[in-house]
Amino acid sequence: MVKSVLISGASVAGPTLAWWLHRHGFTPTLVERMPGPARGGHAVDVRGVALEILDAMGVLEAVRESRMQMKGVSIIGEDGSETWRSEEMTISGGRFDNKDIEILRDRLSRLLVADLPEDIEILYGDSIETLTDDGDSVAVEFAKNGTRQFDLVIGADGLRSNTRNLVFGPDREFLHSFDIALAPFSAPNTLGLKDWQISYRNARNDGYMIYTAPGNEELRVCFQVPLTLDDGVPDRAGQMALVRERCGDLGWQTSHFLDAMEAAPDFYLGLIAQVKMPHWTKGRTALVGDAGYCPSPFTGQGTSLAVVGAYVLAHELARSRGDHVSAFARYEAKLRPFVAQNQAIAELTRDERFNDPEFYTSVIEPAMDQAKGAIELKGLS
């Protein structure tokens, strides 16, 4: 009988899963390698059925109140002049006339963690070192907290999942890289933007995104650099040098923002990739969210898949009364079509017409609208 569940990762999938497992009578424990709740990060979207799940958790209104407050978007050229604008949508968040929520990832994560019942244990600043599944339970050796037994272990530890590496195999087997990395960071709002997004494109159609954080004191700037899975990931200084080298000639205010990058407390460089696996479960271990089926930021659906995947896994474990073998099988069967449809969006958003507003509204938006609701959930009320 399954009772204790260790969840590695406390960002989006991890706390959502912990909340639902606790609600169904399990005893979840979270382990998170960061020293405390999430800090910094980019804007993510919560859409479609994921909103219904947050609503059922009682956290939807708080998430909505913390959302981005965008009023529109401009595309600007090399001389800084506007070539297109909309007050009806942003490129990252879509149209304003729907219920989708765009929110900074750290804010969402903090709200989900704050919403957890107090008796859920969270081990910050620690990580799983080894996992030994003897068929009846899993012995987990932590870097700092010794060795403990759990009935199940769930990896919710993101694109470069530690759990996946320990149990299923190395990144190379499952990561499908787009050979691009995103480098988001915070910068002072020297442009004086108010609740606004800018897509800067130079004459070669290269550029980067800028948008205001809620309150308008800070900008989030997001450069893109070519990067492959084979490129070693250098340290922070090396990553910034790489961004400088590969983005230095983009024009407009690029050198100003490269200087701001050096001072940013929350800079990071993340490879853009999808995770594709034949199975998300093995023995007493399962993967949820980006760890198992990252769709990549090219789809804008990573956060919603993490929320929906966590809900479905908890629901199936509850339904099978802790028989993890049948629960894992149903989790995979239920979620796979939804994941496939959402991962396919990346084909559209990588099309060279992505920045053409007509293509965006006639092709990309309808595909996203369909994909975000393409799963029927039971047990939500």
Ligand X SMILES: Cc1cc2nc3c(=O)[nH]c(=O)nc-3n(C[C@H](O)[C@H](O)[C@H](O)COP(=O)(O)OP(=O)(O)OC[C@H]3O[C@@H](n4cnc5c(N)ncnc54)[C@H](O)[C@@H]3O)c2cc1C
Q: Would you say 101 or 317 has its CB closer to ligand X?
A: 101
Does position 297 interact with ligand X (CB under 6 A)? The reply is yes
Q: Would you say 78 or 222 has its CB closer to ligand X?
A: 222
Q: What radius of gyration, in Å, describes the C-alpha atoms of the chain?
A: 21
For residue 39, the tally of other CB atoms under 10 A from its CB is: 12
Q: DSSP letters of 59-79? A: -HHHHHHTS----EEEEE-TT
Residues with Cβ within 8 Å of 86's Cβ and at least 6 positions away in sequence, in order, are 72, 73, 357
Specify the stretch interacting with ligand X by CB under 6 A; choose among 156-164, 226-234, 252-260, 329-337.
156-164
Kindly write out the interface string for residues 109-148 of this chain, putting x where it contacts ligand X by CB under 6 A and - elsewhere.
------------------x---------------------
Does position 182 interact with ligand X (CB under 6 A)? The reply is yes
- Euclidean distance between the first and final Cα of the chain, in Å? 25
Q: How many residues bind ligand X (CB under 6 A)?
A: 37
Q: DSSP letters of 109-128? A: HHHHHHTS-TTSEEEET--E
For residue 190, the tally of other CB atoms under 10 A from its CB is: 11
HSE-up of residue 248 (Cα within 13 Å, Cβ side): 6
Of these, 28, 45, 60, 168, which contacts ligand X (CB under 6 A)? Answer: 45
- One-letter amino acid for residue 282 of the chain: K
How far is it, in rounded angstroms, from Cα 130 to Cα 63?
Answer: 35
Kindly write out the interface string for residues 255-274 of this chain, putting x where it contacts ligand X by CB under 6 A and - elsewhere.
---------------x----
Does position 44 interact with ligand X (CB under 6 A)? The reply is yes
Specify the stretch interacting with ligand X by CB under 6 A; choose among 227-235, 284-292, 344-352, 358-366.
284-292
Specify the stretch interacting with ligand X by CB under 6 A; choose among 62-70, 194-202, 296-304, 361-369.
296-304
Q: Return the ∠ at Cα 295 (arms to 45 and 333), rounded to 5°.
A: 110
Closest contact distance (angstroms) between CB of 108 and ligand X is: 8
**Please, are residues 365 and 315 in contact by the beta-carbon 8 Å criterion?**
no
Residues in the chain: 381
Q: Would you say 251 or 292 has its CB closer to ligand X?
A: 292
How far is it, in rounded angstroms, from Cα 268 to Cα 41?
Answer: 9
Kindly write out the interface string for residues 73-112 of this chain, putting x where it contacts ligand X by CB under 6 A and - elsewhere.
-------------------x------------x-------
Residues with Cβ within 8 Å of 41's Cβ and at least 6 positions away in sequence, in order, are 104, 105, 106, 184, 266
Specify the stretch interacting with ligand X by CB under 6 A; choose among 223-231, 255-263, 302-310, 357-365.
302-310
Q: Would you say 154 or 317 has its CB closer to ligand X?
A: 154
Does position 177 interact with ligand X (CB under 6 A)? The reply is no
Kindly write out the interface string for residues 2-41 of this chain, putting x where it contacts ligand X by CB under 6 A and - elsewhere.
------xxxxxxx----------------xxxx---x---
| Residues binding ligand X (CB under 6 A) | 8-14, 31-34, 38, 42-45, 92, 105, 127, 156-158, 162, 182, 184, 270, 289-291, 294, 297, 300-304, 306
